[in-house]
Structure 1
Amino acid sequence: MRIKFLSVIVSLLFVSFAISSCLNDNNQVGEYSTDATIHAFALDTVHGKSYQFTIDQLKGEIYNLDSLPMGSDTIIDKILIKTLTTVSGAVILINKEGKDSIKDNVTQGLNTTDSVDFREPLKVKVMSMEAMNLMYQGISEDTYKKYTRRYTIEVRVHKQDPDSLNWGQAKGQQPAPLMKGFSGGAISGPQKAVILNKTIFVFSKTTASQVIAYKTLTDNPRGWTSTGTINGLPASVDLSSILNFKDQLYAVAEGIMYYSTDGTNWQKHTTLNDRKIASLLVGFPENQGNNLNKIIGIAAVSVDATDAKIHRFCFTNENATSWTETSDLGEVVADSFPRTNISATIFSNNTGVQGAMLMGTTTNERTEAVKPILPWGSYNGLSWADLYTQNAFCPILTLPSIIHYGKEFYAFGNEFDTFYTSVAGIAWYKANKKFYFPTELTARKGSEYSMVVDSNNFIWIICSKGLTGTDDVWRCRLNKLGFKEALTK
């Protein structure tokens, strides 16, 4: 039988209660249990999954931390209660007026094989055996009320499509920038965004080649301020080389390594400048997955000491205090390896081994001929392989960005029209229509920009001021990556 409205729910949910009584030789009745708590609750499976429910005894609330998938309303409108455990007694349904359904016939109950409508929270009262005994004797409810407890059972369902990219727009409205004019127009050319200690820094240069930066906390997206004067970092710095490793920023200017602990004050590195550095690639953090993969350090490209035309991969130790190489001279970098506009991401494969993937361009030009763009991958920062494929390749992207996001790779450029996605970084396809760019951002095609992903899975796209718009901050997140961690079993 389907229950359509709580207000017309008949009688009670009967929960296998057993009267714990014993009779001695004098026929004296033992004590009845006063326990009126619900100890376990579970529903039938939803889409083949069983969802765990939390019981908050202090607040009298029962709910699922991991919300059911969007659209589950058509399932929970008639779903079976799989488990509802109490020590003894009965569970009574409370109607919308706050009144329970038990009056004269306490043993008449609703069979738990009947379906229940959980589209709205269900309120119940648990009566212990002692409460029921006193009620049978005609004792007033005020007397046995202390042996009863009330609960609200809520089945939470996601209201957002888990596979859609959310740009923060209100329902029915078009996505818009999170903030316009975040730098007052000061950021107007090439730039680089990086996160240091939950602060986003955006570095750029003025028309006079002075290095400038604006920053904000990741949890205060509209609180952008100037960092003030950038000290110790030459104007010749390669902005695309700036990266974070172990809560410090690193950058390269004219082959020399610089570092900063606060993003504002920089200095030459004392031990990493025994060679000329062409570019920094990516920092490998400590792997939280497979303990056998302890590759920690900064991957970079150095210039051969005897022939400046030859570049070699190099890698620091885990404290970034010295360099290690595959051999005495290091592995030679292929001509097709990206030289600039490098974007890199860290990932863990199915076995928990950590690796890196990057994209970039082979020249300093902002545009190149139409052709596939080659992702490159590495598991140690010293040996890199291109992931070439004749089919399903990723097309050329201007100012490419690559991220490992939601167990897949995504790439895009400053065309801002299409996200390309890949499971392993080899075969690339257009992402589905739910993973999209807003129309207003697509109109910024050709803008200088940079991108970061914060610890809350927000993708930040920061555009410089140009002929087609102001200096904008855009932020989005895949809905399911904003949901609480699944507690399914």
Structure 2
Amino acid sequence: MRIKFLSVILSFLLMSIAISSCLDSDDNYEYSSDATIRAFGIDTIGKGIYYKFTIDQLKREIYNVDSLPVGSDTIIDKILIDTLSVTGWVTSGLNDTLFNTSDSVDLREPIKLKVHAADGVTVREYTIKVNVHKQDPDSLIWREMAALPASPVSGKQKSVILKGELFVYTSSTTAYRSSLSTPASLQWSLINVELPEGAKLNSIVSFNDQLFITTTSGEAFYSDNGISWTQMDMQGMQMVTFLGGIPEDKIIGNKNILTGIFTKEGANYFCAKDTEEATWRKGEEVIPAGFPLEDIYSTVFTNASGIKQTVIVGNTETTVEETVPWFTMGGPTTMDGLTWTGMSTPTDFSCPAMKNPSIMYYGGLFYMMGGDFNIIRTSRVGIEWNEAATKFRYPTEIKVTPGEKEDDKDTIEYISLFKDKGDYSLAIDTKHYIWIVWNSDGSVWRGRQNKLGFK
């Protein structure tokens, strides 16, 4: 009995020692070594816009992917950091003073913040950089480039892009070529071309890394290099002009389709073919009245259904009251190039009739140039047309007329440098540069909307 009683007492003693030991360990805290910024944000910009910031934990950099608008320097020179999530505390400056988020900071230049972990040992330094656009993203900027060595002798010329080069055809035997690998400068070289007899320069189209041209006698030719040309088998068709191409579209199963117009017994019809095949498909219905037949310009856009459509404008044989873009149409599974519809607008928002119109789908909108080159027209879907925004205009000179009275405001006019300059040709390269070459003097201009050049 005594032995059992002693064992019980010993057990109680051991438990007491264990409990006492556990109680003593409450004073041994383990502090966190976490010294990371988990969330960061600044006060809203402009009309309550909140910009998201990315935190690169490996490089310890914090930055905004979407740059702030031009002119934001005058806002971020004194702005609050309204979100700063850390476990420990933050210091800044040469003296590592405690950072207070209730004080405004100057973020025009990168700043550094040090995050101190709760353990008092671990420290991480972050660089905060606020990106601001140096250029207005919506502005169309023009620059005059090196002119052609000689003006077009025929009074007509055609500009096209082929495999990263700008070709300007000035006659049936000559053309000028420059690489676009360095678009800031042009180095023109004269080349002797082998255009077929009666070739219509204004009919040249570029599609799928080839050029296509028609002649006054109804023949058609193609070129892989822009210099030598090979006659196409038109299967008895007399070609009027090429319209452009419908690019491959996996959604509806289309391959690259070349489209054009041929004439038969005095009437014009559509024709089209897959560029990998030899057989042409012929339209059965006469093309609609008012459809453009010369100086064709085409562009491609993706519609709301995700299907690619080709849109063209050009000069017509009949007098028109508006410039109408024509769209390729098709069924749910094909776009055959034989069906086109005109987007005529019976409202005040139609595009006025203009000579030598060109169209482009550019930066998410349609734009129409041409006529007297005073106003650029724009449309969201190619139906209602309006004057383009003031930032999207031809190169201009500004004319200021002082007010007649002391309190009158000055009158400011923007006069297009292209106004009434005459015939031209236009091409757009893969870097979104718009190239315009003028017939009258061979001058060359390059334009691009700033945002289409941003990385």
The TM-score normalised by the length of structure 1 is 0.74
Structure holding more strand per residue: 2
Other-structure match for 1:303? 263
- Please report how far the alpha carbon of residue 295 of structure 1 lies from its aligned counterpart in structure 2 after TM superposition: 6.2
Other-structure match for 1:62? 62
Q: What is the rounded CA distance, in whole Å, between the counterparts of 2:270 and 2:61 in structure 1? A: 58
Q: What is the rounded CA distance, in whole Å, between the counterparts of 2:28 and 2:118 in structure 1? A: 13
Other-structure match for 1:471? 442
**Aligned pair in 2 of structure 1 residues 227, 248: CA closer, same or farther (>3 Å)?**
farther
- Please report how far the alpha carbon of residue 357 of structure 1 lies from its aligned counterpart in structure 2 after TM superposition: 1.8
Any unmatched runs of 5+ in structure 2? 1-21, 330-334, 398-415
- Please report how far the alpha carbon of residue 182 of structure 1 lies from its aligned counterpart in structure 2 after TM superposition: 3.0
- Please report how far the alpha carbon of residue 344 of structure 1 lies from its aligned counterpart in structure 2 after TM superposition: 1.4
Other-structure match for 1:487? none
1:412-423 equivalence runs, <5 A:
412-423=369-380
Query: What SS class does the counterpart of residue 303 from structure 1 fall into?
Result: strand
2:392 to 404, 428, 435: 435
- Please report how far the alpha carbon of residue 45 of structure 1 lies from its aligned counterpart in structure 2 after TM superposition: 4.6
Query: What SS class does the counterpart of residue 339 from structure 2 fall into?
Result: coil
Query: What SS class does the counterpart of residue 323 from structure 2 fall into?
Result: coil
Q: What is the rounded CA distance, in whole Å, between the counterparts of 2:23 and 2:431 in structure 1? A: 64
Other-structure match for 1:251? 213
1:112-261 equivalence runs, <5 A:
112=101, 115-130=104-119, 132-133=120-121, 147-168=122-143, 177-179=144-146, 181-185=147-151, 189-205=155-171, 209-226=172-189, 228-231=191-194, 233-253=195-215, 254-261=217-224
For residues 142-196 of structure 1, what are the alpha-carbon distances to aligned partners after superposition, in whole Å with 9 as ceiling and x for unaligned?
xxxxx4332221111223333322225xxxxxxxx122x2334357621221112
Q: What is the rounded CA distance, in whole Å, between the counterparts of 1:385 and 1:211 in structure 2? A: 37
Other-structure match for 2:400? none
**Aligned letter for 1:190?**
K
Other-structure match for 2:328? 378
Residues 210 and 235 of structure 1 are in contact (CA less than 8 Å); yes or no, is this contact kept in structure 2? no
Q: What is the rounded CA distance, in whole Å, between the counterparts of 2:277 and 2:184 in structure 1? A: 31
For residues 55-112 of structure 1, what are the alpha-carbon distances to aligned partners after superposition, in whole Å with 9 as ceiling and x for unaligned?
44565432212201234345545554354345x4322122xxx44215xxxxxx52x4
**Aligned pair in 2 of structure 1 residues 320, 471: CA closer, same or farther (>3 Å)?**
farther
1:282 to 244, 264, 285: 244
Residues 414 and 448 of structure 1 are in contact (CA less than 8 Å); yes or no, is this contact kept in structure 2? no
Other-structure match for 1:408? 365
Aligned alpha-carbon RMSD (Å) = 3.0
**Aligned pair in 2 of structure 1 residues 224, 30: CA closer, same or farther (>3 Å)?**
same
Q: What is the rounded CA distance, in whole Å, between the counterparts of 2:78 and 2:67 in structure 1? A: 17
Q: What is the rounded CA distance, in whole Å, between the counterparts of 1:299 and 1:218 in structure 2? A: 30
For residues 225-269 of structure 1, what are the alpha-carbon distances to aligned partners after superposition, in whole Å with 9 as ceiling and x for unaligned?
2252213x3142222222222222222223222222222222123
- Please report how far the alpha carbon of residue 218 of structure 1 lies from its aligned counterpart in structure 2 after TM superposition: 5.0
**How many aligned positions are there?**
407
Q: What is the rounded CA distance, in whole Å, between the counterparts of 1:159 and 1:446 in structure 2? A: 32
Other-structure match for 1:456? 431
**Aligned letter for 2:90?**
V
Residues 257 and 273 of structure 1 are in contact (CA less than 8 Å); yes or no, is this contact kept in structure 2? no
**Aligned letter for 2:295?**
N
Residues 180 and 186 of structure 2 are in contact (CA less than 8 Å); yes or no, is this contact kept in structure 1? yes
Q: What is the rounded CA distance, in whole Å, between the counterparts of 1:378 and 1:125 in structure 2? A: 60
- Please report how far the alpha carbon of residue 297 of structure 1 lies from its aligned counterpart in structure 2 after TM superposition: 0.7
1:265-280 equivalence runs, <5 A:
265-269=228-232, 271-280=233-242
- Please report how far the alpha carbon of residue 31 of structure 1 lies from its aligned counterpart in structure 2 after TM superposition: 5.6
For residues 8-57 of structure 1, what are the alpha-carbon distances to aligned partners after superposition, in whole Å with 9 as ceiling and x for unaligned?
xxxxxxxxxxxxxxx99556846655454435433355445543333445
Residues 399 and 414 of structure 1 are in contact (CA less than 8 Å); yes or no, is this contact kept in structure 2? yes
**Aligned pair in 2 of structure 1 residues 388, 161: CA closer, same or farther (>3 Å)?**
same
1:101 matched to 2:64? The reply is no
**Aligned pair in 2 of structure 1 residues 31, 395: CA closer, same or farther (>3 Å)?**
same
Residues 394 and 420 of structure 1 are in contact (CA less than 8 Å); yes or no, is this contact kept in structure 2? yes
- Please report how far the alpha carbon of residue 420 of structure 1 lies from its aligned counterpart in structure 2 after TM superposition: 1.2
Q: What is the rounded CA distance, in whole Å, between the counterparts of 1:297 and 1:184 in structure 2? A: 36
Q: What is the rounded CA distance, in whole Å, between the counterparts of 1:352 and 1:49 in structure 2? A: 30
Residues 39 and 83 of structure 2 are in contact (CA less than 8 Å); yes or no, is this contact kept in structure 1? yes
**Aligned pair in 2 of structure 1 residues 65, 342: CA closer, same or farther (>3 Å)?**
same
Residues 173 and 192 of structure 2 are in contact (CA less than 8 Å); yes or no, is this contact kept in structure 1? no
Q: What is the rounded CA distance, in whole Å, between the counterparts of 2:38 and 2:249 in structure 1? A: 39
**Aligned pair in 2 of structure 1 residues 39, 24: CA closer, same or farther (>3 Å)?**
farther
1:362 to 316, 326, 332: 316
**Aligned letter for 1:285?**
P
Any unmatched runs of 5+ in structure 1? 1-22, 103-108, 134-146, 169-176, 485-489
Query: What SS class does the counterpart of residue 228 from structure 1 fall into?
Result: strand
Query: What SS class does the counterpart of residue 202 from structure 2 fall into?
Result: helix
**Aligned letter for 1:452?**
A
Other-structure match for 2:88? 89
1:51 matched to 2:51? The reply is yes
Of 345-354 and 182-191, the range deviating more from structure 2: 182-191
Query: What SS class does the counterpart of residue 240 from structure 1 fall into?
Result: helix
Query: What SS class does the counterpart of residue 331 from structure 1 fall into?
Result: strand
Other-structure match for 1:315? 272
1:352 matched to 2:352? The reply is no
Query: What SS class does the counterpart of residue 81 from structure 1 fall into?
Result: coil
Higher RCO, 1 or 2 (CA under 8 Å, sep at least 6)? Answer: 1
Other-structure match for 1:338? 292
Query: What SS class does the counterpart of residue 69 from structure 1 fall into?
Result: coil
Q: What is the rounded CA distance, in whole Å, between the counterparts of 1:227 and 1:293 in structure 2? A: 41
Q: What is the rounded CA distance, in whole Å, between the counterparts of 1:31 and 1:114 in structure 2? A: 32
Query: What SS class does the counterpart of residue 391 from structure 2 fall into?
Result: coil
Residues 194 and 201 of structure 1 are in contact (CA less than 8 Å); yes or no, is this contact kept in structure 2? yes
Q: What is the rounded CA distance, in whole Å, between the counterparts of 2:436 and 2:166 in structure 1? A: 11
Q: What is the rounded CA distance, in whole Å, between the counterparts of 1:404 and 1:24 in structure 2? A: 76
Query: What SS class does the counterpart of residue 451 from structure 2 fall into?
Result: helix
For residues 385-427 of structure 1, what are the alpha-carbon distances to aligned partners after superposition, in whole Å with 9 as ceiling and x for unaligned?
2222232222222221111112221112152211111222222
1:426 matched to 2:383? The reply is yes
**Aligned letter for 1:198?**
G
2:354 to 397, 401, 417: 397
